[in-house]
Structure 1
């Protein structure tokens, strides 16, 4: 499931699945690259395992930058 929301000046992107494996951000790979990019833009990435049961939610919060009106 993919969720997109605007809240408190942030873009909130969350992906939820039922796969039991929780990824390790300490290793190289696609999710590590995403985490690095999110950090470069002063955002946050979290991984929250489902309790109880298999699955997890990977959530990215990115700050929205106001665009001046000409």
Structure 2
């Protein structure tokens, strides 16, 4: 995690079994957590955040369940930044999500993240047996340049 993400004052961590029901549980937890932090349901970053989060959790459920019985989602936010990560113990590292060759859910994540002005970092666990996919989205609309 970057020092900028570590400095975000709001933080919530959720661990769930790597099962299909995790997608709903994580999405509902995200909505409640973000609302508690003052990020309204109609905030322009919320839709993209929930879509990306749902895709990341779905990918963990589909591809990591055999090696990762649970997944962990970390939510963080500050005045102008919303960040979240999905961690599982599957060793596959998806690489940079914005790659033009991304397919399926990764392509959706890359497209939505880019359109929302976000960034993505994939970090391997120290032992190489898992990874975290961190997404950061701006909470304030980007200022137009004259």
Query: Do these two structures clear the TM 0.5 threshold for a shared fold by scoring above it?
Result: yes
Equivalent position SS for 1:65: coil
- Any idea what the Cα deviations from partners look like across 1:1-42, whole Å, max 9, x if unmatched? 001110351100111110111124333120221122111111
In 2, Cα distance between equivalents of 1:8 and 1:48: 25
Q: Does 1:53 align with 2:124?
A: no
Larger RCO (CA under 8 A, 6+ residues apart): 1
Which of 100, 110, 115 matches 1:40? Answer: 115
Whether the aligned pair in 1 keeps the contact of 2:79 and 2:139 (CA below 8 Å) is no
Q: Which range is displaced more, 40-49 or 18-27?
A: 18-27
Task: Specify every segment of 5 or more residues in structure 1 that has no aligned partner in the other structure, as ranges.
Answer: none
Question: Which is richer in strand?
Answer: 1
Task: Specify every segment of 5 or more residues in structure 2 that has no aligned partner in the other structure, as ranges.
Answer: 1-71, 142-146
Q: Which range is displaced more, 20-29 or 39-48?
A: 20-29
In 1, Cα distance between equivalents of 2:120 and 2:79: 16
Question: Which is richer in helix?
Answer: 2
- Structure 1 residue ranges (4+ consecutive) displaced by more than 6 angstroms after TM superposition: none
